Amino acid sequence: MAWIAAAVQSARAASLPAGFIEETVAGPWNEAVGLTFEPDQQTPGGRMYVWERGGRVWIVEDGIKLSPPLIDLSEEVGGWRDFGLLGFALHPNFRQNGHIYLAYTVDHHHLTSFGRPFYNPNANEYFMATIHRVTRYTARAADGFRSVDPASRTILVGESITNGFPSLYQSHGIGSLVFGTDGTLLVSCGDGASYTTIDTGSAGETYYSQALAEGIIRPKENIGAFRAQMVDSLAGKIIRIDPDTGDGIPSNPYFDPAQPRSARSRVWSLGVRNPYRMSLRPGTGSHQRSDANPGVLYIGDVGLRTFEDLNVATGPGQNFGWPVYEGLTAHSTYRNSNVGNQDAPNPLFGGGGCTQPYFYFRDLLIQDSLNAPAWLNPCNTAQSIPTNIMRFVHRRPAIDWQHELGPARTGVYTPGGLAAVTNVGAAGSPVSGPQFGGTSSIGGTWYQGDDFPAQYKNTYFHGDYEGQWIKNFVFDTNNNPVAVRPFLTGGGGMVCIATHPVEGSLYYISWTNTIKRIRYIGGGNQSPRAVASADKAFGPSPLTIQFNGSASSDPEGFPLRYSWNFGDGSMVSTQANPAHVFSAPPAMPTSFTVTLTVTDNSNATAQATLPVSVNNTPPVVTITSPTNGMFYSMSNETTYALSANVFDAEHGPDQLTCEWQTILHHNNHVHADPLDMNCTTTTVISPIGCEGGSYFFSIVLKVTDSAGLATTREVHLYPDCGAQPAVLKFLAQDGAGTIRWQLDGEPARNYVIEGSTNLIHWTSITNLQPATGAAEFIDSTGDGLGFRFYRAGLLP
């Protein structure tokens, strides 16, 4: 069945256990991807640090976002597809030395041209192979550590194009920076391989040939996802380095004293696909680097098409199995791929009929077992693979979960000591809790505070981007999972979870611009909810608008007091649903911000705002290129001109701002490119989408006039897989949530229309058979707001 999708936006609050509330923190943000707090913070409040994908790090002090940013690396950072400034850390002794650490994708133009006569600081080179880099800067004590000294820049990893973390496609890049208990710096990075095909090297959609030509990878690294299994590669690894020099640590498992900056000298663990976020379990690890014990890492690793991982790294050299294993079990295709490890020559080659010059990666990695491990030479199973060849036992994830609805599983053993799996919550399972699924394991944080109920102290919170959930995981002192408990649902696409070192609470980022704080108030008074609406938002002066605040509510059910500030200097109204007349000089577009404040019987308040624009109309926008419903080539990347006809009755072209954004939709999630602020520009569409799963691109244009009115339009592009997709067109929506759509599809073909509130669970609405290629349907089956997402499937 082939699916196409469309969406209607509606505001929904996250669902939390009784006694918990969430609040929005500071802002505004432009693609915030991470947050942290000062490690030695001893008082409530204090500083929070927020980093944005584009390359800026901001300080939030006592709830206020400071300006300018602590550091701005946007000229160097390549913020495209899944890349950008994704990792940030403060030195454990930050207030003594001022050191900050950043992990990011380097824009290819900056990587190859900076410091040369033809370098252009405003140029970007995306859709090319590049590297990821780790740098250190020093914040100035003279201004309270609110800015950095540019001259303090030190590149720890990736000082040249040949020794960074290799990036050969559009995802699976740099991840987290975490300090170990021993003061070493741990860095996570993905395999740099394709996510659309089985990539065993030379995958046509990747940039492998350019990477080879420029020395980003060596020929022996042209093995796609199997770079995660190559010790002598930084891809698909957790590395452990000296935060002063970037060298590997002598107690690392593969350290070479003759080459302390080599990949093998830096590797701590391997076999990960996309370890986006990781955290250190408090109270673990040694303070001595020589003990090879920086602490226990909890790692979110994003899977391919079947399973998501929560990995736990308890010691050196542990191999989490990717791509031979996905989750607890073998990957059906990669497990049978004959990809040789050129660092592992087979001593039997050339004799006795042995035609295998190198051991395959799958020969060197065996499944977990309670029995004595055995690595047998495939040319003669009576002989073992020599001990001077690196051999591994699969370090199984603590928990994995299957895409969409699950199941969630954990590892057990058969009576004979062989690896087996059991479902979470099943009879006899060592892990209790309800079943769950998800599609993008992000990572999490350990909670040690006292402001949550006692059951949450010293437990781990982990999130799933596509599942839009945070769950509470209980582990025993040996880092074995014991229980999984539901915590938050409907939180949006979360990309970071953190906790305050003193206040506790839980913080998370809902991509792309919202930071939420979760607090526990127990049985105390909860803040009311303010909901404001209006019968119009613009028009000529005098403009009469009817406002409505009656949808506001109090969780305890008490009456609310209303206060409307119309933003024009007039008296405040205390009615729930007032009318107001706005006036402005003739032919002068004027903006007002209307604020509704509701107050409960305990004087807790909440606010909502509405924009009003007098003597103004929104821009009229029609995208002229590309055309909605076009097919893009599957043979090569295609550059499309982005243009639109834009007219504004009150404003000239120089009073309008444009924001183009290209968004790749993949199954239940999106990969969004940065905003392009040019009104006429171009975008690159990659040949993605005919290998299974649902893919399409949306190209969105938002045009805003100087008085604040905006119009948004979008078109969809589909992969040219040889079949005509259907197109869903939004027609109308009434105040009760009934939504009318039009399906443009193939005449006389049967389609099923489904709706979803979370892109995970889908409900059938109706079946359609367009007689002439178009048919309308109405959705009134939602919860009063209607479904948020829709898709049409072509039936056999």
Query: What is the pLDDT, as a whole number, of residue 12?
Result: 47
Q: How far apart are CA 456 and CA 520, in angstroms?
A: 11
User: pLDDT band at residue 5, thresholds of 50, 70 and 90?
Assistant: very low
User: Is residue 729 scored above 90 in pLDDT?
Assistant: no
Q: How far apart are CA 577 and CA 409, in angstroms?
A: 52
Q: In a 3-state reduction of DSSP, which class is residue 164?
A: coil
User: Is residue 751 scored above 80 in pLDDT?
Assistant: no
In tens, the pLDDT along 286-308 reads 999 999 999 999 999 999 989 99
In tens, the pLDDT along 39-63 reads 766 656 679 999 999 999 999 998 8
Length of the chain, please? Answer: 796
User: Mean of the pLDDT values across residues 213-232?
Assistant: 98
Q: What are phi and psi of 400, to 5 degrees?
A: -130, 160
User: pLDDT band at residue 417, thresholds of 50, 70 and 90?
Assistant: very high
Query: What is the pLDDT, as a whole number, of residue 788?
Result: 55
User: Is residue 782 scored above 70 in pLDDT?
Assistant: no
Helix (H), strand (E), coil (C) string for 551-562: CCECCCCCCCEE
Query: What is the pLDDT, as a whole number, of residue 7?
Result: 35
The number of angstroms, rounded, from the C-alpha of 71 to the middle of its chain's C-alpha atoms is 22
End-to-end Cα spacing for the chain: 7
Q: Pseudo-torsion of CA 79, 82, 84, 86, nearest 10°?
A: 160
In tens, the pLDDT along 460-486 reads 999 999 999 999 999 999 999 999 999
Show contacts of 137-142: CB within 8 Å, 24+ apart: 137/71, 137/99, 137/100, 137/102, 138/97, 138/98, 138/99, 138/100, 139/70, 139/94, 139/98, 139/99, 139/100, 140/98, 141/98
Q: How far apart are CA 58 and CA 66, in angstroms?
A: 7
Q: Where do the DSSP E strands lie in 8-113? A: 20-24, 32-37, 47-52, 56-61, 64-65, 71-72, 85-90, 99-105
Query: What is the pLDDT, as a whole number, of residue 11?
Result: 37
User: Mean of the pLDDT values across residues 260-289?
Assistant: 98
Q: Using alpha carbons, select from 360, 376, 386, 393 the residue that is nearest to residue 230.
A: 360
The DSSP code for 306 is S
Q: How far apart are CA 177 and CA 561, in angstroms?
A: 47
In tens, the pLDDT along 237-261 reads 999 999 999 999 999 999 999 999 9
User: 413 or 722: which carries more pLDDT confidence?
Assistant: 413
The amino acid that residue 632 corresponds to is Y
Q: How far is CA 783 from CA 10, 399, 739, in A?
A: 11, 33, 12
The amino acid that residue 56 corresponds to is R
Query: What is the pLDDT, as a whole number, of residue 783?
Result: 44
User: Mean of the pLDDT values across residues 354-375?
Assistant: 97
Q: How far apart are CA 288 and CA 273, in angstroms?
A: 30
- Over the chain, what is the mean pLDDT? 91
User: Mean of the pLDDT values across residues 765-775?
Assistant: 69
β pairing state of 533-534 and 32-37: unpaired
Query: What is the pLDDT, as a whole number, of residue 731?
Result: 61
What is the maximum span of the chain, computed from C-alpha positions, in angstroms?
A: 96
Query: What is the pLDDT, as a whole number, of residue 8?
Result: 35
Which domains does the chain show, CATH number per domain? 32-336+352-520 (2.120.10.30), 533-614 (2.60.40.10), 728-796 (2.60.40)
Task: Decide: 707 and 589 in contact? Cβ < 8 Å.
Answer: yes
pTM metric for this prediction:
0.85
In tens, the pLDDT along 28-42 reads 999 999 999 997 666
CA atoms within 13 A on the CB side of 513: 6
Task: Kindly report the number of other CB atoms within 10 A of residue 57's CB atom.
Answer: 21
User: 390 or 757: which carries more pLDDT confidence?
Assistant: 390
User: 471 or 511: which carries more pLDDT confidence?
Assistant: 471
Q: Is the dihedral of CA 287, 292, 296, 302 positive or negative?
A: positive
Query: What is the pLDDT, as a whole number, of residue 122?
Result: 93
User: Is residue 785 scored above 50 in pLDDT?
Assistant: no
Task: Decide: 206 and 216 in contact? Cβ < 8 Å.
Answer: no
Query: What is the pLDDT, as a whole number, of residue 42?
Result: 60
Q: In a 3-state reduction of DSSP, which class is residue 66?
A: coil
User: pLDDT band at residue 3, thresholds of 50, 70 and 90?
Assistant: very low
User: 778 or 421: which carries more pLDDT confidence?
Assistant: 421
**b or e along 687-724 (b: 16 or more beta carbons within 10 Å of the residue's beta carbon)?**
bbbebeebbbbbbbbbbbbbbbbebebebbbbbbeeeb
User: Mean of the pLDDT values across residues 723-736?
Assistant: 57
